[in-house]
Structure 1
Amino acid sequence: MKPTSSSPGLRALSASLREVREARKFGLRELVRALEIDPRLLSQWELGLRVPPVEEVARILGYLRVDRATTERILFLATHAKEPNWLDSNPADLPAALTAVMQCERTASQITNWSPLVIPGLLQTPDYARALLTASEIKPAEADARLVVRLERQRILSRRNPVRLQAIISELAIREVVGNEDIMSDQIDHLLTSAVTSNISVRVVPADVGYHHGKLGMFTLYDFPTDPSIVLLEHVYASAFLNELEAISGYRKLVKLLQGKALAEDASQALLREAAR
């Protein structure tokens, strides 16, 4: 069954249209006058409330003189914006998937993250994040850009109306040394600090619980105040966004399974304190 509201691709498209307009310092009214577009339509396109025609997207990008690579990316989003699920499999085109992730994070009321091998991005320290990016053989300049974006994304946890984050982390992610011992010690201290924040829950699944479906990979579940939920699946060379109700239902069941295997918050904090020694 298809959702009744914004698809992952439409969220990425609307955010991209707004970002390119603002980057070129055009106001909404200014662009409306220049292209003779109904102001309500343009506003709805940028809010992800309606799907803009591909031709209109191309006209906007042409008028704003957007570079070729960005134009191709946004036109791809416009072409596939109505699809309930979206697979981004072009690792060189970071902004497409990342824009969708950032838009989901900004508008979510709750984020549930299962991370079996690494600390979730929203809870990573700068040194831990940089160590991960460096180990991924990413060019230094690109790694710096991704690090800035990753740290900027974390502001949703401390803004006036913060997002609620439920982080379920495998003990394997806590024990695996990323960078060096000092980086890991600081990272675990950061988890402990985050865990006592009112809008953040950190629970650890012990390494010895045996096999469960969660071991097949990480995922993030975004819940929104009114829109259907979205699940993000991440791999080395691809990101998939799922919006179909059947898929969401399956991942909710998996969240319940993981909650049942995870330590309570107090016990999780005790494990973290032991690991930080």
Structure 2
Amino acid sequence: MDGVRIIDAMKATSSTPRARALAAGLREVREAHGVGLRQLARILGFAPQVLSLWEKGLRLPSVADVALILGFFKVRGEKQKHFLELARTARDPDWVSTGSPEIPEPLSGLLECERAATSVTNWALGIIPGLLQTADYARALLSNSNLTVAQADARLAVRLGRQKILTRPEPIRLSVVLYEAAFREPVGDEDIMSDQYDHLLAMSRLPNVSLRILPSGQGYHPGLLGSFLLYDYEDLPPIAFLENYSGSVFLSEREHISAYRQLAKMVSGNALSEEASRELIAEVTRQPEA
């Protein structure tokens, strides 16, 4: 029986967004209970290397195996339903999810995308990207998002936690093209914006961060249809992430990735250089109050 379980568990996965969300969720549940990977594998009769592949999103567990893990940790209710739905649909290439007042459902997928990525490409149309926001700027955004204080605090903690991928020992490479109108849009008071501009300047000088501004007033281009992020990996297929007010979309099919790469190349080709972008940010910080 154990041999059959190992064979089934070793079926390859395309590392879809849902598969990565499932992998991250299973790992988080185990770590939250203070149980080691080998310990759990021994208790449930899995090969440790198989459980490790599941938690990395490189192989897919069966729905029954996911149910067994959830049962061991007494995961019930909506969280159990969420994990089982991910397990049933893990091979689907794309993922459209409706938002909610709580932490959005696909957040574990987004965190896993960023945790494992080697590089992130971000076209930011409406606001300064979350990976480059100060705590006060992010809090000002969240306070105007119809959230309770508890919900806003929870999202703020997650957003600030995400930023560690830029300064960890082996940081990701982040390439941002920021629309000038978003860069200039006031969020909060003047002190918040002043600190945010200073933070952008500091982050733009990191060797793994490229920040360029696309001037507004150039007429229509496809980038005006919405922001997006592209995640690239050393050994896994790339993923595109799109977010709007009421939902999020993860895309992994080749034609979608190709389309967003072309769009990223287009907006990058029209953006200011890194040095000119820093000069523009510094100029704005020096502007006298009206």
Give the drift of 1:92.
4.5
From 120, 132, 135, the counterpart of 1:126: 135
Per-residue displacement from partner, 1:194-249 (whole Å, max 9, x unpaired)? 11111101100111111110010010000111211100000111110000011100
Aligned: 1:246 with 2:267 = no
Give the drift of 1:70.
1.4
Identify if the C-alpha distance between structure 1 residues 78 and 95 changes in structure 2 by more than 3 Å, giving closer, same or farther: farther
Q: Is the 8 A contact 1:174 1:275 kept in 2?
A: no
From 65, 83, 95, the counterpart of 1:74: 83
Structure-2 residue corresponding to 1:116? 125
Q: Is the 8 A contact 2:103 2:154 kept in 1?
A: no
Structure-2 residue corresponding to 1:24? 33
TM-score, normalising length: structure 2: 0.91
Greater C-alpha Rg: 2
Structure-2 residue corresponding to 1:153? 162
Within a 5 Å distance, the mapping from 1:32-111 to structure 2 comes to 32-92=41-101, 94=103, 96-111=105-120
Structure-1 residue corresponding to 2:152? 143
Return the alpha-carbon distance in structure 2 between the equivalents of residues 141 and 96 of structure 1.
Answer: 17
Percent identity, please: 51
Aligned: 1:196 with 2:205 = yes
Within a 5 Å distance, the mapping from 1:162-181 to structure 2 comes to 162-181=171-190
RCO higher in structure (CA 8 A, sep ≥6):
1
Return the alpha-carbon distance in structure 1 between the equivalents of residues 214 and 38 of structure 2.
Answer: 51
Unaligned segments of structure 2, at least 5 residues: 1-11
Unaligned segments of structure 1, at least 5 residues: none
Letter of the structure 1 residue corresponding to residue 129 of structure 2: P
- Paired residue secondary structure (2:231): strand
Give the drift of 1:93.
5.7
Q: Is the 8 A contact 1:45 1:51 kept in 2?
A: yes
Letter of the structure 1 residue corresponding to residue 250 of structure 2: F
Letter of the structure 2 residue corresponding to residue 167 of structure 1: V
Aligned: 1:215 with 2:219 = no
Identify if the C-alpha distance between structure 1 residues 138 and 232 changes in structure 2 by more than 3 Å, giving closer, same or farther: same
TM-score, normalising length: structure 1: 0.96
Give the drift of 1:159.
0.8
Per-residue displacement from partner, 1:31-81 (whole Å, max 9, x unpaired)? 222222232322211111111111110111011011312111111111111
Return the alpha-carbon distance in structure 2 between the equivalents of residues 38 and 192 of structure 1.
Answer: 48
Letter of the structure 1 residue corresponding to residue 79 of structure 2: T
Return the alpha-carbon distance in structure 2 between the equivalents of residues 68 and 24 of structure 1.
Answer: 18
Return the alpha-carbon distance in structure 1 between the equivalents of residues 19 and 105 of structure 2.
Answer: 11
CA RMSD between the two structures: 1.4
Q: Is the 8 A contact 2:19 2:90 kept in 1?
A: yes
From 252, 255, 263, the counterpart of 2:264: 255
- Give the length in aligned residue pairs: 275
